[in-house]
Amino acid sequence: MEKLAQETGLAGLVRRLFPDLHGEMMSLVHFIVQKGLPLSRGEPWSAGHLHPADGPVVSQRVSELLLKITEDDRQRFLSLWLAKMTEDDFLCYDITSVSGVKPMHLILDRGFYSEANVGELLERRHHFTVAVPTGRKWMEAAIDRHYESIASPERYRQVDDAESLYVVTDLRKWGEDRRRAYLHVYYNVRQATDEFDRFTRELLQYKTELESGRKVEDHEESYARFLTARETPKRGLRVSFNDAEIRKHRKRYAGFFCLLSSAVKDPMEALRICRAKDAVENSFDDLKKHLDMRRLRIHTSAAMDSRLFLQFLALILICRIRNTIQDDAELRNLTVREVMEDMETLVRITYSGRYGQLYAETGPLQRKIMEVFGLTLPT
C-alpha cells in the first residue's frame, strides 16, 4: 500500500497538507483498505502490522485526530486531488453536485440518463459515459439493427472466466449540433433471465406511479408503451398492462444493455470504467455496515466528515488495487479484500545481532501478487 500511495501521489499530497498528522492518517487508511472495520479496532492491528505511523494508533488518539482534520484542509486536498484526477482519470458521479472545475469525464448510472442531460453535457464539453435505461425507442432501434448479427463470433468478448459478451458500437450524432457520441451495445445470454425479472419490477413501479398521480417525466414513454390507462365515472383511473407490447419487448430486448460515451470508443474499456465505480459503492457499504459510532465516540459532524474523508483516501488505493488485478487473468477474480488477506500472512521477523530481518516464505499466490504489483522483498 505504501508503494501504491507513492505511485498515485496520495502519500505526497497527504504529507504536504497534513504535515503533523500524515503518518497516523495513512496508517488508518491502510487499516480501512485491509480490514474495513471500525477505526476503534485499529489499535491491535497497528501493533502487529507495518504501517506509516511510528507506533500503535490508540483509539483515544483516533478520536483526537479526526477533530484535527479541518474542513479547510479537507477542501484543499479535494481541490488539488480533483485537479490531478481530471488530467487523466474519471469521476464517478453519484448524487453530489460538482461545480467550478474544468471539463471532466463523468461516469453516470442510468438514473442520470435523459436526452436533456446528455445534450447539456455535450454542450458544456464534459466527457461522460452513462448507462442507458432499457425501453428507449432510439436504443431499441439500435438493437434492432444488430439483432441478427450481434451473436457473430467476431463480436464475442470474454470478460473473465465467468462472463462473456457480444458487443457492437454505433457512432451517433446527437442534437442539433450533431455532436459525436458512441453507443456501445452489449448482449449477455445469461443476463436475459435476470433482465426478465428486473423489467417486471420496473413495470410494477410504472403502474404505481401512474395510479398514484406521481408520474416521472422520464418514464412517460414507458407509460404510453407498456400501460393502458382509462378513466371511468365510477371507478376512476384504471391502469392495466399492455401485455402484447411487454411480450414483444421481453422477447426482443432481454439480455441487452447499452452504454453511451462521448469519448470512450472501445466498448470493453467503457464497460470496465463503469464497473470500476462499484469499488466506490462497495467501500462505502463497508463504512455503513461496520462503522461503530459509539466506540469511536463520534458525536460531532466534524469528526464524521473526517471519518468519511479517510474513507475517500482509502478508496483511492482500493481502486488502484482493483484496476491492477483486473489486468491479470489469474488475479482478476479476486476481490481487493481477498488480495489483502492473502498478503497478510507474509511476516517480517526482526532479529538482534547479525541476522537482521528475515521474511517468511512466500506462497505461489503471494509471489504472483508481488509480481503484478512490482514488489520485491529484500534478500
Q: List the domain range (segments joined by +) for residue 76.
A: 2-80+279-333
Is there a single domain that holds both residue 146 and residue 184? Answer: yes
Is there a single domain that holds both residue 204 and residue 182? Answer: no
- How far apart are the C-alpha atoms of 375 and 359, rounded to whole Å? 14
| Confidence tier at 17 by pLDDT (50, 70, 90) | very high
361 within domain boundaries: no
Is there a single domain that holds both residue 120 and residue 261? Answer: yes
Is there a single domain that holds both residue 114 and residue 176? Answer: yes
Weakest mean pLDDT among 89-103, 306-320, 357-371: 89-103
Is residue 297 predicted with pLDDT exceeding 70?
A: no
**Which three three-digit cell numbers place residue 334?**
479476486
| Confidence tier at 345 by pLDDT (50, 70, 90) | confident
Mean pLDDT (whole number) for 254-271? 91
**Which three three-digit cell numbers place residue 130?**
452513462
Is there a single domain that holds both residue 128 and residue 264? Answer: yes
Strand partners, 165: 157
Q: Grid cell 411480450 — which residue?
A: 247
pTM above 0.75, yes or no: no
204 within domain boundaries: yes
285 within domain boundaries: yes
- Residue 348: the pLDDT is 85
Q: How many domains does the chain have?
A: 3
| Confidence tier at 360 by pLDDT (50, 70, 90) | confident
Is there a single domain that holds both residue 31 and residue 150? Answer: no
Mean pLDDT (whole number) for 223-234? 86
91 within domain boundaries: no
Mean pLDDT (whole number) for 177-199? 84
| Confidence tier at 259 by pLDDT (50, 70, 90) | very high
| Confidence tier at 293 by pLDDT (50, 70, 90) | very low
Q: Which of these three, 237, 269, 301, is where a domain ends?
A: 269
342 within domain boundaries: no
Q: Which of 198 and 290 is assigned the larger pLDDT?
A: 198
88 within domain boundaries: no
Is there a single domain that holds both residue 171 and residue 213? Answer: no
Weakest mean pLDDT among 131-140, 207-216, 289-298: 289-298
- How far apart are the C-alpha atoms of 279 and 285, rounded to whole Å? 10
94 within domain boundaries: no
Is there a single domain that holds both residue 137 and residue 260? Answer: yes
Is residue 225 predicted with pLDDT exceeding 90?
A: no
Helix axes 22-35 and 59-68, enclosed angle (nearest 10): 120
369 within domain boundaries: no
Q: Grid cell 504529507 — which residue?
A: 15
Is residue 151 predicted with pLDDT exceeding 70?
A: yes
In tens, the pLDDT along 96-118 reads 455 565 667 888 888 888 888 99
Cβ–Cβ under 8 Å, residues 311 and 296: no
* Stretch (H or E) spanning 325: helix 301-326
Mean pLDDT (whole number) for 55-71? 87
- Residue 292: the pLDDT is 46
Is there a single domain that holds both residue 122 and residue 217? Answer: no
- Residue 86: the pLDDT is 64
- Residue 372: the pLDDT is 93
Cβ–Cβ under 8 Å, residues 2 and 10: no
- Residue 295: the pLDDT is 47
Is there a single domain that holds both residue 310 and residue 210? Answer: no
Phi and psi, residue 38, nearest 5°: -55, 145
Is there a single domain that holds both residue 260 and residue 231? Answer: no
Is there a single domain that holds both residue 259 and residue 158? Answer: yes
Length reported for the chain? 379
